[in-house]
Amino acid sequence: MFFGTVHHGIAVGVIMKVPIVGGASTTLATGQLGANGLAVGPTYVYWTDSIALTVMKAPK
């Protein structure tokens, strides 16, 4: 499972993954203050950055 962190409706800049069966989370990207709209492909996790107006990616 992949997710971004949000605090009071504002993305705080971390994209993470955690095993579906439970366990420790893993940070995939930090400093992503405008992170929005996660999508998962076979190799990468993608998200948009609403501040920089870009599409970002990180290896799964």
**Domain count within the chain:** 1
The reported pLDDT for the residue numbered 6 is: 62
The reported pLDDT for the residue numbered 17 is: 93
How far is it, in rounded angstroms, from Cα 52 to Cα 60? 22
Span 9-60, pLDDT tens digits: 555 678 889 999 999 999 999 888 778 888 999 999 999 888 889 999 999 9
CB 4 within 8 A of CB 16: yes
Helix intervals (H) in 1-60 = none
Q: pTM of the entire structure?
A: 0.78
Q: Which domain holds residue 33?
A: 2-59
The reported pLDDT for the residue numbered 9 is: 59
